[in-house]
Amino acid sequence: MQGAAGEESRAVRQRGLYNETAVDKVLFWGIEVQQKVPLFLRIHMKGPAGHSASPPDGGGTMVKLMQTLEAIEKIPTPYRLTPAVERYFRMLGNSKKDEKGELMRSLRNPVDTERVNRVLPPGYRSLLHDTIAITRINGGHCSNCFPATATADVDIRVLDDEKPDAMLAKVQQAMPKGGSVEVLLASAPVPESPSNTDLFAVLANAMKQAEPGSTVAPVVSAGTSDSRYFRARGVVAYGIAPFKVNYYDADTVHGIDERIRARFFAEGLQLMRQIVRNFCARP
């Protein structure tokens, strides 16, 4: 395959969830070429241990932790349209005939916050601003004791062209006495993978053949994968989802009873095999 500069380059294919499916028909296939930047944090809180029948002033370690998490959750994350997301939304919007599609096609900076909140669901909105998610809280060992320590994990994703430093500084500013921030994972913006390669063409052609009339386009992911490590080193990396996922099953991702239909799984395996055959069989 040929890279962006015309030189031979390596390629990596990652899995993802980037498609638009109506019942059992894929309308839009996304090939992920860029991702938001992850910042995973662990908040550590310390306070006096003791019997909960005599609460300390301020409520103790767990109360301090919850108040701190509330302050972190309230850090402003205004909407901003990055160039990569603007291209993605414009191409996805071309496949939609409703107000959602019209908004995606016409969206510009400064973003119309009221309209975006009204028209777009959270999944699309997450690509327009930094997101802050509190995912885990640990503390205490008995119901009548104040713990001396407690922790909470916070999953932050900043926009695809942002460094996480400014967000990290804001979280650190929210720490009270006895609080500290541990960085579990901090990435940095990386160049997106080009969409003018032989592999991209192979992926797009196979997807269109699997679902005649569908659209294929480069997309941005709100999630993160190992692709960022390869892209940082100049290796082309794409994320694809060869499986159809309908409206109902999409909500089970990372949740209870995560699933896809058995027929969709079988069809996805066929598509993946076809992609590998097409790419490996090139002259």
Which of helix, strand or coil describes residue 243?
Answer: coil
Question: 175 and 68 in contact (C-beta within 8 Å)?
Answer: yes
DSSP H stretches of helix in the chain: 61-73, 83-93, 99-106, 113-119, 122-125, 165-173, 198-210, 227-232, 247-250, 262-280
Please write the tens of the pLDDT for every residue from 204-228: 999 999 999 999 999 999 999 999 9
Residue-level pLDDT at 198: 93
Counts of helices then strands in the chain (DSSP H, E): 10, 11
Percent of the chain with pLDDT over 70: 92
Kind of pairing, strands 11-15 and 236-240?
parallel
Number of Cβ within 10 Å of residue 126's Cβ equals 18
Residue 195 to residues 18, 22, 199, 225, 233, Cα–Cα distance (Å): 16, 26, 9, 18, 17
Global pTM value: 0.88
**Domains within the chain, CATH numbers bracketed:** 11-35+190-280 (3.40.630.10), 37-186 (3.30.70.360)
